[in-house]
Amino acid sequence: MSSPSASRRSAGFSLIEILLVLAILGIISAIAIPSYLGQRHRARVIGDAISNARVLQMGLETLKADTGVYGAANTYTWTAAGLPSDTGPALLPTFTPKGGSKVDFRVTIAPGGVVYTLDVFDPTLGNARVYGTNQFGQELFRWY
């Protein structure tokens, strides 16, 4: 026969066991939640960057179809506000980025005006490059 104290002890969890489980759950949450939020931000920034880069590429293709070149050899920047910061003599497409991400777009047109690279930078990450493509639509860089 078992003693009464032994059966009372096996009836449930002690306070220390419950506190230990809660502490472990708290530690796991403290690690997982910021990581999850960071992934959401990263996905939103990359999605906006790719979407807006495609729109800017269509504008550049329209310009090339009209003039034969993408523009004069130079580097052109569209800020998060959507305005080219250095248009110069080239006729560049009007472009206003959509979405909640405040990223900057930089198009570097090579001499001859028929080759370009388009890079997207996130000012909230110290101007880190988050996406890159070229006139063929090839993905040159993607921030993961």
3-state secondary structure (DSSP) of residue 111: coil
- Say whether pTM exceeds 0.95: no
Number of H helices, E strands in the chain: 2, 5
Q: Does residue 81 carry a pLDDT above 70?
A: no
Of the two residues 57 and 7, the one the predictor is more confident about is 57
The total number of residues shown for the chain amounts to 144
pLDDT at position 5 over 60: no
- Give the ranges where the chain is alpha helix by DSSP (H): 4-9, 15-67
pLDDT the model gives residue 127: 86
Report the chain's mean pLDDT, rounded to a whole number.
83
